Amino acid sequence: MPQIFDFPNLIAALDAGQGLTNKGYTFLDRDQKEQFYSFERLREEAMRRAAHFRHYGLKKGDRLAMVVPDGEDFVPTFLAAVWAGIVPVPLYPPLSMGKLDAYIDTLVSIMGKAKPTYLVTNEKVQAVLWGGISQVPSVKGVITTEELLLPAPEGASQDKAEVTEDDLCFLQFTSGSTSTPKGVSVTHGSLRANAWAIMRDGLQTDTDVDHGVSWLPLYHDMGLIGFVISPLFHRVSVTFIPTLTFVRNATIWLRTIHKVKGTISFAPNFAYALAVKRAKPDQLASLDLSSMRHFGCGAEPINPTTMRSFVETFSKSGLKPHALLPCYGMAEATLAISFIGLDEELSTDVIDVDAYQQDRKAEPVPVEQLVGGRAQEFVSCGKAFPKHEVGIFDDAGKRLSDRRIGEIWVRGPSIARGYYEDAEATEKTFGNGWLKTGDYGYLVNGNVYITGRKKDIIIINGRNYDPQRMEWIVDELPEVRKGSTVALSRPGTQSEELVIVVESRTQKRAELIELVKQKINENLQLMPVDVVIAPVGSLPKTSSGKLQRAKTRQQYLAGTVGQEGNRTLGGNGEKLVVARHVAKSLLGRAQHRARRVVEHTLEIRSVSDALSKFKLAGSYAQKRVTRLLG
């Protein structure tokens, strides 16, 4: 019988790690060297780093922004903030030097909403961030992860904070795939409820058997809640692969599962497609995936063809069909909403296209009608967790019956409090006791089927089309980079018109354009009016890797699609961007120091003395910038 854990909050779960030295988190670096943090060591690290935060004057309820790229620094720093009752705000690090302009703009926007007192990052990253940090009035300064490795400051408290279930635990900013990022207020109560739903109701974990493996970004809800927080609540060890290592070499994911005999891993749809694409016969023969109990798939629409290909391909490596676990969730629900049953295999629903596009009904038809585009197939994401409820509603707020397509609403103890300091958006999304997800879908006997994002629907001649269906069709072309196709619409004379944007390295652009048009026409009886071939790495994506359809559409209409990103700049262009931001950062840091000197001095001395120090700070800034630019 598996041991059951039920801690009242994350701090209590962390505190209970005292003495537990044989279980914990293993962090791999780029060279696959391991660094192990037992649950006891995580507790000790959290206590010591919490003392550093308190030494800086941070107190319960203060926000602490985090731009920490490395997992072995991110996890103990995040837990330290929670231990002290400080509210961490995880933010993604700069992933592409060529996109620093857009990154700094987003950073300033998010920090402006969160109003953090300090920002934690490492010495290297802070060199390019100060140009943005100096624009956020609430920020008193930067704490480096290097500082946090030092012994605890003398006299600073390492005691755990006292919290209630209604207290804010952390802010999870949404990925911004369809709108600007908003800060989801995750309370200790909603976090505990969702961790229980995931690990006990959903996965039925066993501390003596299970071992998680994850390459997911830790600043994203699936990586953070799914593989740091929930396993901590339920004593499951995890091995973390650096996200960029996976991006460069997707096979490292499955090789690590083989090595550690992993049992649980989750990933978006594109990762499964990538794993199939990179699979080689000799690798399949050498891999043993028989230990895997749960391969979860969520975070974006699930392609049934991709799922079947993954199971078929890796059955040669011992993968069991029922290990595949389609699921549904979002940050506003803390993380997870529904899972399929543990003994269930992949299940899909094939429905009539005309009834779906014109009448918003999911009428089942034989699978043979998928040929020629007369039907559409959707994956079951299972049923809502116990104590949670999923309903389908029309635009007027009327609840719909089974197989009627509408917006998915959710309620239950896992639902977050709302959006941080945004009453209007909170009322719109969380009002009347339901979370309005912004996703379209339908129910069949309690099973949830997701059809697409409400804001992404393309309407052509009165018929509704899901962009991901078109994108999956085009992704099958070998010349197209997988997971980098965007279907969008542009205004036409009588109706919206279809446009397809793809990333590709092909030199035969005219041929690829015709192939894309042919594929769409064959499957959907639609003809794109335009096909745009963009450089690899140039289309806008969120911090979690989701394509930003709305932003791509804006760029297309403005005539700038495919003109952003480091790959469009060239080597010298990227160096210029970095140099410019380092210069801005030096100036911003000096200005921030000067402002802090003035603020501090005005509190305790004369104005003339403060102005004198401001002049000295300005001279310092001028010398640093001059030295950088030569």
pLDDT by residue (tens digit) across 330-364?
Answer: 999 999 999 999 989 999 999 999 999 889 999 99
CATH code, 9-24+36-163: 3.40.50.980
Range 60-66 average pLDDT: 98
pLDDT by residue (tens digit) across 110-157?
Answer: 999 999 999 999 999 998 898 899 899 999 999 999 999 999 999 999
pLDDT by residue (tens digit) across 390-399?
Answer: 999 999 999 9
Tell me: pLDDT of 577 over 80: no
Tell me: pLDDT of 548 over 90: no
User: Quick one: pLDDT at residue 613?
Assistant: 46
pTM (two decimals): 0.84
Q: What is the dihedral of CA 68, 74, 76, 82, to 10 degrees?
A: 80
Distance of CA 301 to the CA centre of its chain: 14
**Are 323 and 317 contacting, i.e. CB atoms less than 8 angstroms apart?**
no
| Beta bridge partners of residue 88, listed in sequence order | 64
Tell me: pLDDT of 576 over 70: no
Question: Residue 70 is which amino acid?
Answer: D
Tell me: pLDDT of 457 over 90: no
Tell me: pLDDT of 7 over 70: yes
Nearest residue to 120 via CA among 97, 98, 87: 87
User: Quick one: pLDDT at residue 612?
Assistant: 52
Check residue 43 and give left, alpha or beta (phi > 0: left; psi -120 to 50: alpha): alpha
> Could you give the percent of the chain with pLDDT greater than 90?
67
Buried/exposed 405-425: b ≥16 CB within 10 Å, e otherwise: bbbbbbbbbbbbbbbbeeeee
Q: Give me the count of residues in the chain.
A: 630
Superfamily (CATH) of domain 350-453:
Luciferase; Domain 3 (2.30.38.10)
> Could you give the percent of the chain with pLDDT greater than 70?
88
Query: Following DSSP, what letter does each residue of 21-54 receive, concatenated?
Result: -S-EEEEE-TT--EEEEEHHHHHHHHHHHHHHHH
Average pLDDT score over the chain: 88
User: Quick one: pLDDT at residue 39?
Assistant: 98
Q: What are the backbone dihedrals phi and psi of residue 281, each rounded to the nearest 5 degrees, phi first? A: -55, -40
Range 212-220 average pLDDT: 96
DSSP category for residue 160: P
pLDDT by residue (tens digit) across 282-306?
Answer: 889 999 999 999 999 987 778 899 9
User: Which CATH number fits the domain 457-565, given the four candidates 3.40.50.1460, 3.40.50.720, 3.40.50.300, 3.30.300.30?
Assistant: 3.30.300.30
User: Quick one: pLDDT at residue 118?
Assistant: 98
3-state secondary structure of 336: strand
Stretch among 93-102, 222-231, 487-496 having the lowest mean pLDDT: 93-102
